[in-house]
Structure formats: structure tokens, C-alpha cells
Structure 1
Amino acid sequence: MELILKKNKPLIENYEDLKNRKLLQFTINGNEFSAENTKRFSWKRLSEEAALQYWTEEVTPSLITIKDVYPNASEKKPESEIKNAIGFYESREDIKNETKRRHSTPRINIREIEKFGEIICYGSFAGIDDVMLAQGLLNLYGSPSDEIIIQYSEQQKNRHKRTHPKDNSQKVEPNQEDFQIIGLNTILYGPPGTGKTYEVKTYKDTLLLNQSASERLYNFEGLSWREAIYLAYKERNFEALSVKEIENTEVVRAYAKTKKSKSIYGTLSTTVIEHATEDSTTSTYRNGRDLFERIKDRWALTEAGKIEAEEVFSNAKEEIGQKKDYYYQFVTFHQSYGYEDFIEGIRAETVDGSIQYEVKKGVFRNFCERAEEDLENGTDNNFLFVIDEINRGNISKIFGELITLIEPEKRIGAAEEIKVTLPYSGDQFGIPKNVYILGTMNTADRSLAMMDTALRRRFDFVEMMPNSGLIRKEVGDSGSIEGFNLADILDALNERIEYLYDREHTLGHAFFMNNNTLADVKRTFENKIIPLLQEYFYDDFRKIRAILNDKNGIYIVEKEISPNKLFDNKLADGFFSNNENKYALKATASDEDFKKFLSGVLIHKEVNEL
């Protein structure tokens, strides 16, 4: 779809028109901007480029009003028709005050634009906000011949939905009629082998459908401030920069978010001077590395500095490309997994030969900040965080403050939005509304840490039980291999397990899903099913034999042992009965014996003829 902005042309679009639309490209007076030639391309880029186009040293807008956007509007036009703090301000605090005064959304995104050494702040929430900013600038400072052409997606993105592919052998595109609601917090639970981990792929394919990340990102793990400065110079093609210009580069701003520094400018200045040439500074803190040199009022990298910068750039660069992993994270809980791994903790690292202790962000906090930045950019993509074996960790210890924050109504952007102060960093932290948490839980692991009751009520639990119908559909000839019906065998085994134990310890259909030959079935029984039954029943071979209906003693061999043959008669008397039945397990069987075993798993009742 296309939208053309002209000076004093009435702007008739509203929030619903641009809700969840993707910005494809825009053109300002013949200059085209798109994801191909602009980093971090999103709706906010429209207002930034419009500001850079129309600002002059003589004229700097301090505020865009309703009349600037709608020149022909009635004086009675309510301020509420501009939903958020649209306009340019001198500080972030001004935007916050304006947001409160207008009763705007608390999720207002505050951005900064620099030109002529001046920093101007603005606030926006949705694509229409940035369109209004561009329209206001055009009305105030543009000429009648100027125009801004905006192209955006026709369809709104579908969210909170998923579908199940009907055929595992080929990718099935989601059918709109098959969609069903997905909760923000979901746990897939059931016995082993019921396809819980496989179902994660279905969630991923559906929630992240048609989402991709093409922008360049950096891996800041283990990088020092000096190395972050190198990335800034590389980003600016090694041109000479002032410390303020270094501070305002996109890469340094992103790096600063990973650190807790009270004065970014001071840290950068100190770092540059420490590694400056002797002719560039008289500071006694200079260490003689000669990596930066002063050129008038700016700093440039020396040849030695450029060499180091190229090495850092090569190691830190991550080309995300057209893939979904930017929106996806997979972790597995275990008994030693902790809060420090998940949210944040204090870790030691060596910087320029000295040990420093810094607060490091955990995997989930980093993921949430990535999702929040996506919301701030107005793209509103889905992010999927998967926790495999969620009940194997100490849930209360790992989640900490998240027990409250994960509730849908407490998410960032929700009506009851909550942010908490983290204990190590002191930073404010919340969970964005576009983050889906998906856990898997094996119900057979009841000896491990149980789900915290407070956390249990905050998740939707989706039970996944054995489904022999999938075997009939996907394996062999309607579930049969060489005349042995694996679907019926699975049903028979599970009925016996449920009778002798419970339904949470039944066998999943995944045990047989990849079986193509009878040799595969034999390996499944010998390497997976029988060892699992040994674990379930604590080597009670009498019960295992009953479950397998191994009446021919192919795997569970019954032996009659007389204690008189093992002990002296005087010692055996009174302690043992004369004869006791013992069982032994055979690890493998011949192909012929295995066929005899399979034939006996199902109980075939004889029908008396009348």
C-alpha cells in the first residue's frame, strides 16, 4: 500500500490504518530508504530521516503541535486525536511529562536524533506516530513541491496463532481456518516420546512465520570499551570523530546498554586518552599504546589502531541474515541452572590485564531486551523463548521476579504493566508483550523438582499423550511392519503400564515413528523401551514381563533356583523357601526369537465355536 505526504495535504490515516503494518520503503524528495540501504529499518527511521532532511541550523523545531500536523483542523480538534507525545523535545523528561499530561500509553518509545551537534528527543509508539512527525516537519519546513512516498504492507501480521502440520514429510503452510489461540506462557507436558520437543518446531514455524532479521548485529560478550570504540570507527569508515560523536554512534549506544556506566562520555574520553599518542595528550594516564591520535578537535585511529579494529570487527560481527533464530532462543533447565544464568549475575572478566567484576545479563534478559527493541522500532514481531525440561530446574530460584512479570496483564505494554528493580544491576526490567514462553515437561520425571504452584497457575498446560493414530498414519502399512501392527502393540503396552503404574509413565508414539524395518523395531525395544521399563519398575522383572507379555521368555527369562544348591542346608533352613522363581534379562534376541516375541505382545483370545 502507498501513502503520499504533501505540504498541507490533509492526513486522514489513523492508528488502525497502520496497526501492525510493516514499513517496506519510503522516499523523501527522490532519496529512497529501505532495509537494503538502511540499518535498523523501521517506522522510526521515517521520522529520523525527515528530521535530518528538513532541519537547518537556523530553524530547529522544538515542538510539533496538532496544528502543525493538521493545518486546516478546527481549533476544537481534541488533543487526544494525537494518541502519544508526538513532537520534538529538549529532553527525555519533557517527553515523560507530556506523556502523563496527554494520558498517553506508558509504552511510549523515546528516541534521539543528532544534527549540528544538538540532540533532540521525540516520542513515538506506532507507525502512524512517525507519519505524523514527518507530516508536521513537511508542513512547517517543506516546499509545495516536496513529497514523501511511503510504502507499507497491505496485510496486518497475524499474532497469537498456530496450526499443526498434517504431514511431517513436507512443510505445510498454516491454514487460516486451522488457527487456534496460543497463550503467552505455555507448557507442553506428557510422558516421554509424545512429541513435545517436536511440537516446539510447530510453534516456531507458526509464530515466527515470515519473520526475518536482515540487520547487522554485534556480539558484545567479552568486549571492552576500547573495542566498542573500534566498532564505532569501523561503522563510520574510520573517519575522525569527537568523543561526543563516538558516544552517539549506534554501536556504542548498543554496547552501553550492556554496561552500567554512570558517565558514558567520561568512560569513552578516558579510554581514548589512555591509548593516545604522546603528541596528542599530556595526560599521565597514557599507557603508550599509540592507538588514537588527535586531529584538531577530533580523534582518529592510528595504523596500529586500525589493525586492531579490523580484528575486533571480524570477531564481534554477527551477520543474522534471513533467518528466524534472531527471534528464537532454546535453553534446557538442569539442577545447577540458576538466576545468574537466566536473568543477571556478577561475573569476573579480564580487561587489559586486570580482573574486573561486572554485572552480566542472563540469556532471558538479553532476549527480552531484543524483543523490547523490536517493539520500540514499531515492527512488533513475535519472539519465542523455549525452555526444555522446565521442571528439572529450581523454578523459584531461576525465575525470581519473573513469577509476577510473566503474567500477560503485567507485560510491557499491557494495562497493568509492571517493571521491577533487579537486585544486581539496579536496572528496571519487564517482559515485553511480544515474548512467548514455551516450556516442555516430562511427567515421568516426578522425582525431580516439581513445578512451583505460583508458576503453575501462570502457564497454560497443554497435555500431550501417546497417539497411536500417528503411527497408523506415518509408519509402514497403516502402522504395520511385516505384519506386526505397531500401533496396536503400543496401545497394549500402555494399557498395561497404566494398570500397573499410571498414565504419566506410558510410552510415547515417538518411539516407533522413525521405524522403517523390523530391525528398527527390534532396536527400539532393546535399546529404549525395555531399559525405560527397567527404570520405571526398579528392575521388577515380573511386572516388566507382564507388560511385555513375554510368555515365551525371549527377553525376561524365568529361572527356578533352589537355595539348597547355593547354601549349606543349615544356613538355608528358615530363611528361604525350598524353591524360588528368579528372573534374568537378556540384552538381545535373534531375529526369529524377536518375531516370536512380537507375536506374543498382543493377547489373542480364542473364540469357541458353537
Structure 2
Amino acid sequence: MNTKFDKYWHIQMHMPWGRDGGEEIDPVEMLKEPEPVIGIGEWDNYQCKDFKNIENGNIVLVRKGNDAIALCQIISDNFHDEGLKQKYLHRNFRKVKILAWAKDYKQPRPSPFSQGTFSSCKRGTRQFDYINGWLEHMDKITFTGNCAHLLERKRNIILQGAPGTGKTFSTAAIALSVLGVKDVDLTDHKAVMERYEELTGKRIFFTTFHQSLDYEDFVEGLKPQVQKNDEGENIGVAYEAEDGIFKRACRAVTTDEKKDIIQCIDDYLQKIKGFENKREIPTITGKSSLYVWWSEGNTTISTRSKYSASTREERHSPSPINIEKVKLQALGEGVENNWPQYAQAFIEAVKKEYSIKGDNPVVLIIDEINRGNVSKVFGELITLLEADKRECSEHPIRVTLPYSKELFGVPKNLYIIGTMNTTDRSTGTIDYALRRRFAFVTLQADASVIEKHYSEPSQVGLKEMALALFNDIKSFIEKPEHLCGDLGIEDLMVGHSYFMADSEEELEDKVEYEILPLIAEYINDGILNVKVEEKKKAFDAWRNLMPISQDKKDDVEAQEEEQ
């Protein structure tokens, strides 16, 4: 059903016989009927006539005084029911669909809904703005929720759209939803981004693909590590396998947030204090083992391969690992840069000792995913991205990584969100191997976002100007004679964020330095087929913050005045 009208309705039902009737009922009970209803008495006035005659599909706010109760949509014609009349004292009823309860949205400001039993509210009123804002809030929550459910099912999604359509904010909101964050309004930009920042590096990981990025940066690769002895002196350089952001995100899935890993490391050090209490632990690959021990007062943990070729005494550690750096690596906030693989083996031994095994949802966000050579970056792991190939899934697959030789699988709870600009022609399109493993969601430019941005009464003129520009540019781009190739208006329309400004001067700057260069690039790249003179007329009009037709009209009027 359509949920957008030029006017909405609001009703209060708690006093069926009016203020002087004495009887009061609970309107919530009417909405909790097996088939929810709203009701009104029988009076010879316009309110009763409106209630009986308005079309199905209309939106009605149920309230008690100024307090909102629920937002509903009418789904039946007016009817009489003796049983409902006995319970609720009303004469006329209409069945409704509950769209939302007030507990899921803010209450209206004081006074807007203080009068009337069944009344309409039109655009420009505070009542209309409240109901309309609630519906827009629901749309955003529904979109975010749908994307989150899709991500939970598919494990990998890509948000695609033209620049300025809100991909950055949407990825943050979807990430919080998948992570189960309940105490943040997912339509509140500031609150969402603040919580996003708090979780970055712990439960949310972010990277940007580019043409020089490769497997060694993203998954793992050999990196030079300066080696130091017990006295901290440089003794040479060795190449060690180092985790990329993909593996770090995977490890965050198994971090047990209920247990303090730092406390567990400190306790484990006490267990291996002294060479006589050394432990033998497996390496990351599981094909060898290490001896680990700690001498009280040392800032390093002594490690020595079981098959070490060192000719020095067995108490000598050729590969000591720094305790503080080990702790940072365990927290995902750093790396033990001398012997990171030995440090990880030690961390895994601590986790096993204290049964630390988390199963956290973790989100990896890949910005500009189409700008990287996806096959090169993911390598053999492209197969493991599929939902049924993840660990603990129907057909789990593990592979031996080329540098660390670690047997590796992708956790079930790792969720990947990619973003891409649909107009970006500087790189090739996403290949079919990746496309099969991702679901694609298209974000489009939305005029209602622009309208909501200009909420202050003093911004009415600026809002009308911005909306007129938005609609004019959209009409210009979607002309059949302008469009060419396989891209449509949903791919090319300039995003709504370009039309959101705090002053006319800022809007002029956005048009001149952001919107016009983007459209000019479309034309130069052959995405839009526009004649030189037509382009000039359009750009001149938009620079003056006017639609093309209005600019022509002003020119005619100016010429008439000169004559």
C-alpha cells in the first residue's frame, strides 16, 4: 500500500462519549485485537463523516491527548460490530494495520495534537511533519534492517550507487545492526558514526581497495622484521609472515570479550616462570612446536623452536618476543614486530589454556571494492567467502596459506560490506567470481533526504532552491536522448548529499565545484550524450541556482525589459 499522502489523520479514542461522558477505555486494547481496529462514535459532524468515508490506505496516528500511541494504516471500510461496541463503546469501526508503536519513536513536542477526535493534518503543519518524519524513520529502519538480514544470510553484500547517495553512512548503520547494537538510533547520523568509531579496530574493520593493493597486503605476506637480541641490539633482518586486515578481522571473531586476555597472559607468565617450567606449544601451522618460558623481571618471553639449529645453550632464546607487544597483538591493536608468528602461537596457547574462544559477529568494510584487482587480492580465499564454505557451515573448506603455512578457514560470523560507485569507469567491472558471492544493493538519490535536511523555517527558500535544482538535474540526465550505454538514472543521478547545504553560498560552491564537474565527466566519458550548446545553457542556469526553464524565462523577461 502507498504510505505517502498529502495529508495524514490523527485520532483519540479513550473517551467514546466525549469529555462529559464519564466513560474511558484503553485504546491500546483496540489495537491489540486479533484484527486491530480504530473506532469513533456516531455524530452528525465532519469528523464522523471523514472517519467513515476516507479511503483505505490512509495513515492514522492513534493518540491520547498529545501522547502518541501507534501509527496505523486503514485496511477496511467502515463497519458496525455489536461485540466491539459492548467492549469499547464506539459505534463505527475500521480495521487497521499497525505500522509502528510509539515506543519505537520519539514523542511529539508539546501541544501539536491537543484537540479533536478525528482530524486531518496537511503539509506545513507540525502534526504532518511529525507523522511524516515517523514514516521516513520507518523507511530507513526498514532499509537498514533488510540489508542487515540480507547480509546475515548471504554474508557478503555490495552497496552500489552514484556518488553522494549515502553509502558511507549506510555501511555504518548496517554494520551496527548486524553487530546487534540496540542502544543507538540507526537513523541518527551523529550517534551512528560515534558508535562506529568506537567499534573500529575491534568489531569493525575498514579498508579501501586500490590498484596497487595485493594479497600480501590484504591477507598475509612476508614483511621484513628487524631482529634484536636480549639486550635490544639489532642483529639483522628476517622475513616473517604478517597478517593483513582480512586475517585480523577473522581473528577478532574468536576473541572472547567475556574474558580479559591481558589478565590471562599475565597469569600464564606465572605458570611458565623459570626455564624449569617451560611449556611446549604448537606453532601456528601445527607442524612444529616452540618452547616458551619467562624469567621474572624480563620484558620479553623466551621462545625457542624445538628444532632450533642454535648451537648455544638450551636456555638461550634466539627469538624473544616483547610482552607488551604480544598483549597489543592479542587485543588486535598492534603486532609483535620481531616474531609475530611466534607471538600468535603464544596467544593461541593462552587462549587454549583458559578456554578463550569467542564467536563474535565482525564486519569488514571494503570501500571502492571495484578499484582493486579482486582475484589478485583475495587469491584462493575467494572460494571461502561463500556462506556454505565458511567454518561451521554446511560445506566448510580450509586452505593452507602460502606464507604462514597456516590451515585457515573463514569464520561464519565475518560479514563483508563492499561499496562501489556505479559511474566509476577508471577500473574494470566486478568479475563474475566475486559477483556470485555478493548480493548487490543499489542506493539512489532521494529528494526526501534533501527536504528533511532543510528543517528550519528560515531555510524554506534554500530548500525550494535545492529541490528545484535536484529535480531539474534529474530531468536533464534521464532524457532519453541524453542517456547512452548501459547506465540508467539510478546509476547516474547526482546524490542527494550534494544538494544539502547550510547557506546559499555553500550550495553555489557545491554546484560549481562538485556537481558540474561530475556531470561534465559523464559527458566527456560518453556516458551522457549532450550537445555543447545544451551543456552550456544547463550549466549557466545551475550556476545561478535555477532550473534550466526558469533561467530561460528570466532571460526573456530581461530582453523584454530592455525593449
Q: Give the TM-score of the pair, scaled to structure 1.
A: 0.43
